[in-house]
Amino acid sequence: MKKILISLINLFYPNLCRLCKRVLIEGETAVCLDCLYHLPRTGYQNYADNPVVHLLIDRQALEAATALYYYEQGGQVQKLVHLIKYHGHKELGYQFGRQAAREWREADHPFQKADFIVPLPLHAKKQRRRGYNQSEWIARGIAEETKIPLLTTAIRRDVMTESQTRLKGYNRWLNVKDIFSVTEPERLAGKHILLVDDVITSGSTVGACMDALSAIPGIRISVFALTMAAQ
Given this model, what pLDDT does residue 28 score?
87
Instruction: Give the Cα separation of 75 and 37 in Å (integer).
Output: 14
Band the pLDDT of 27: cuts 50, 70, 90: confident
Return d(Cα 125, Cα 44) in angstroms, integer: 34
Give the C-alpha separation, 214 to 45, whole Å.
23
Starting at the earlier edge strand, list the strands of the sheet with 116-119.
62-71, 220-229, 192-200, 116-119
What pLDDT score does 172 carry?
Answer: 58
The stretch 72-97 carries a mean pLDDT of 95
pLDDT tens digits for range 111-121 = 999 999 999 99
**Paired residues of 229 in beta bridges:** 71
- Least trusted range by pLDDT, from 37-41, 158-162, 194-198: 158-162
Report whether pLDDT(10) > 90. Answer: no
Q: Is 28 exposed, middle or buried (0-12, 13-18, 19+ CB in 10 A)?
A: middle
* Span 197-219, average pLDDT: 93
Query: Could you tell me which of 90, 35, 91, 101 has the C-alpha nearest to residue 68?
Result: 101
Q: Looking at residue 168, what is its pLDDT? A: 59
Model confidence pTM above 0.95: no
185 near 116, Cβ under 8 Å?
no
**130 near 122, Cβ under 8 Å?**
yes
Domains of the chain: 1-38 (no CATH), 39-229 (3.40.50)
Q: Could you tell me if 153 and 184 are in contact, meaning their C-beta atoms sit under 8 angstroms apart? A: yes
The helix (run of H) or strand (run of E) holding residue 26 is: none
